[in-house]
Structure 1
């Protein structure tokens, strides 16, 4: 995955991701020739690094290829809650997949929480790991029964869950699910230490190496944008959103963006847990060490939306709503950090971890963590390493991407594809574009028509114009401008691009085509 520092984009003076302030570690070289190995892992986030490390620890030669810097893209912008309590997931999973599946889900996710604690102790990793209870709560008395049912489903699934009516937040709730023995940590401190140990074990990591092609066979071969090849018996695609479309997972994955704000509070105001409500566009609260005695960093997340669908100024308004909500409940907090994260959601709430498609024998994928990528990524590492080693865990079939549950999945897939079709067709209508570059102010962007061609045009702070093709290089949808983060975003499948067209986030692997434009030629459509 590619990474562009979020703190440098957009007009907001706040720092970006809290986790990205941590030193990136040594730079790894780019792949400068073809290599052969046993397993190639594509993607250096939590799922990719954990998979590669598990394999290397078991004695398997591994090569990991990362498009930018490891642990810096989606993983570098997470909220870093490490929990098996995933909102209101258990009643839903039990209803769709059955009670046994809910137990397997709970067991695999809780094992991931414990695995991070065990590995941290084994390797001596100081990753600010803290054991805390996790809560999913409601402020609406009419919703309390649903949360009581979730607590019962989570307890039946094997978690240390209970229903409570009081939580240690500075405002009242109507009811909540509480699960003991959960955790929170600094994801980059953990993963960069894991990467160092991976290399000590003989694994190789190549950064600034974007993979653009995959040939399945015996052996498999992945190719990079510079034309080099990595040949291996097995390949793991851990690029957050899969960059290869042959599995058609893009028809079953819905990308969602979420905003995060953080700021210091006195340590005595730390509520001492990880809290989430699905209400109001989601609100999540946790704290982290601040590095300053007597203070903690309050981290608040929420305002989910589909990338590429926000209108001008809307993302900034969402940040303001999130900060207003937090300031009302934690008076006096001053936010110093602001960033955004993105994840993919499956129709049945269970990630896709396993075979890339029904015919795959040596290519695997990990995606669809629905905002719970820390426990999900660690779980994926153990599952995929186990499959490659011929030691499949009991929950392998639960996460298999090839599964299909028509009663739940088909309506959701049809709804998702209707959204994609609406943008694919509707965004080509004249009303979706600016009439002229004169309508584009400094720091803004819009799609304009130039000689019958639609261009994504950005005007920088000095007034200069920068133009690229408006067609996403993934499947051709028209990109929209996110003025808060200064990014072009695809509303169909969530690809994101810098104003110069460079890929920031997949599934696209190729940049937007550069274009020339002048004020004179970019007139009304």
Structure 2
């Protein structure tokens, strides 16, 4: 298949898809409003409804169709090489709390699947972090030791079921893989049965904290709630300055059918070669879908077609004869100290909470966040609340170099991308399907030529904090390299933290000096 014939996310394609839940047609008052309908938001909402709270979920698009619907769908507490890092930065107790909280999330998901009878292709599997290069074996041995100390059933092994040799691997049994969209849609149905409300196509644009808190939306309805949970993957409210501690990372996925006897049954990841992750999922005809992930990059900074080709070639070389049928991309946020930010939104928070920074492990992290935030809302103590607390001040020292590196990268984009716009091609030189940021009338404009040859012009300033966007031809999207907002060619929001679209520009008006001031997210 060529790129145009490949399908998108397998999880979204193969999940039952009913009619979207309509936006609210009047103002709403609830105990808890959850902003975001992915794994963290729905897990939190479901836990609170089951505890007797009146809850409303507000989702800008469709439930589970964002980051959760584009994941690799591994549910594991082994997060590449995190435990040796945590042992050094958070001590053995910090590593133990991390392992315990993530493992508890896996057990919680298994309980929910069993209790609700969810058909989500749940499979128990081992998780493995491996290396092909012998010089990395020392890291793996240290990780296996740290993971064991943290309480995981981890061991160092030298052989795997992969059809190519490895120098070594960390193996942890008792993990799981499943169909995340089927799981979450079943969770949403149960939430509704127990009195919870779900509103899709409802983007939250403002938050006023108080008693109650008040949320404004793009559909005109106002939502009042005693407590608010911001689970939008990247927080859409800047008052906590969490954007200074989060780095967006985009990653590619290719998938195709293999015979069941050729498919790995465990889950594998290596940090080598710009990350390679491999797992398989059952299909109705008895074959399995091989899912290969890797080639991570900062949004708006890569030739994505080239990286898709690189990942596809790697998959074909390791699993000969694989025919890729699906490809998609996902986006994660890395916290600068490698630990998610889950808890009160900011230092002065009394009724607002956040869940973000899962670093590519949002399934176990999101389920963990659901339990943790539910406990906080109810005033219950949680053993691992301090580990994940977004207000943790000691992490500023621990973050050190990572924090400064992230800020330097953002600063480079603020300056360098504006210079690049000067060297961009003229709009008339753009081929169909291409886009570029160009100077028109002294202002940066994002210009895209569609398949019919028509030009579409919008402001190139991201409406979050004003960085210039860049065009991703493979996915036909404008992307902000600073904080990861993504927009359609016509300026519509595809992914936050931006809550306002790119402003439309008339080519002639812009060329004559029309103002382009941009807007920022400070609701």
TM-score computed with the length of structure 2 as normaliser: 0.95
Offset from partner CA, 1:16-64 (integer Å, 9 cap, x none): 0000112223320112221111000000000000000000001000011
- Hey, what does 2:238 align to over in structure 1? 245
- Hey, what does 2:8 align to over in structure 1? 16
Distance 1:316 1:435, change over 3 A: closer
Q: Equivalent residue of 1:221, what SS?
A: strand
C-alpha separation between the residues in 1 aligned to 2:423 and 2:205?
31
Kept in 2: contact 1:25–1:192 (CA 8 A): no
Alignment of 1:287-298 (within 5 A): 287-293=280-286, 295-298=287-290
Q: Equivalent residue of 1:233, what SS?
A: strand
| Pairing partner for 1:346 from 335, 340, 343 | 335
| Pairing partner for 2:479 from 462, 486, 489 | 489
C-alpha separation between the residues in 2 aligned to 1:164 and 1:449?
56
- Hey, what does 1:141 align to over in structure 2? 134
| Pairing partner for 1:471 from 461, 466, 482 | 461
Deviates more, 1:146-155 or 1:422-431: 422-431
Alignment of 1:437-476 (within 5 A): 437-476=427-466
Kept in 2: contact 1:437–1:519 (CA 8 A): no
- Hey, what does 2:306 align to over in structure 1? 317
Shift of residue 239, structure 1, vs aligned partner:
0.2
Residue 53 in structure 1 maps to residue 42 in structure 2: no
- Hey, what does 2:360 align to over in structure 1? 371
- Hey, what does 1:398 align to over in structure 2? 387
Q: Equivalent residue of 1:297, what SS?
A: strand
Kept in 1: contact 2:126–2:176 (CA 8 A): yes
Distance 1:348 1:430, change over 3 A: closer
Alignment of 1:162-181 (within 5 A): 162-181=155-174
Kept in 2: contact 1:109–1:376 (CA 8 A): yes
C-alpha separation between the residues in 1 aligned to 2:91 and 2:296?
28
TM-score computed with the length of structure 1 as normaliser: 0.95
Alignment of 1:408-447 (within 5 A): 408-429=398-419, 432-447=422-437
- Superposition RMSD in Å: 1.7
Residue 114 in structure 1 maps to residue 107 in structure 2: yes
Distance 1:105 1:148, change over 3 A: same
Shift of residue 380, structure 1, vs aligned partner:
0.3
- Hey, what does 2:348 align to over in structure 1? 359
| Pairing partner for 1:160 from 153, 162, 169 | 153
Q: Equivalent residue of 2:380, what SS?
A: coil
Offset from partner CA, 1:237-296 (integer Å, 9 cap, x none): 000000000000000000000000000000001221000000010000000012212x10
- Hey, what does 1:307 align to over in structure 2? 299
C-alpha separation between the residues in 2 aligned to 1:286 and 1:487?
28
C-alpha separation between the residues in 1 aligned to 2:256 and 2:32?
41
Kept in 1: contact 2:421–2:439 (CA 8 A): no
Distance 1:461 1:418, change over 3 A: same
- Hey, what does 1:512 align to over in structure 2? 502
Q: Equivalent residue of 1:387, what SS?
A: helix
C-alpha separation between the residues in 1 aligned to 2:82 and 2:157?
18
Residue 189 in structure 1 maps to residue 178 in structure 2: no
Q: What stretches of structure 1 move > 6 A for 4+ residues in a row?
A: none
C-alpha separation between the residues in 1 aligned to 2:227 and 2:423?
45
Distance 1:88 1:27, change over 3 A: same
| Pairing partner for 1:283 from 268, 276, 283 | 276
C-alpha separation between the residues in 2 aligned to 1:144 and 1:522?
61
C-alpha separation between the residues in 2 aligned to 1:288 and 1:520?
50
Kept in 2: contact 1:134–1:180 (CA 8 A): yes
Shift of residue 407, structure 1, vs aligned partner:
3.6
C-alpha separation between the residues in 1 aligned to 2:130 and 2:510?
56
Shift of residue 437, structure 1, vs aligned partner:
0.9
Residue 500 in structure 1 maps to residue 490 in structure 2: yes
Question: How many pairs does the alignment contain?
Answer: 511
Kept in 2: contact 1:199–1:205 (CA 8 A): yes
- Hey, what does 1:97 align to over in structure 2? 90
- Hey, what does 1:333 align to over in structure 2? 322
User: Please, which runs of 5 or more residues in structure 1 have no aligned partner?
Assistant: 1-6
C-alpha separation between the residues in 2 aligned to 1:308 and 1:183?
33
Kept in 1: contact 2:304–2:473 (CA 8 A): yes
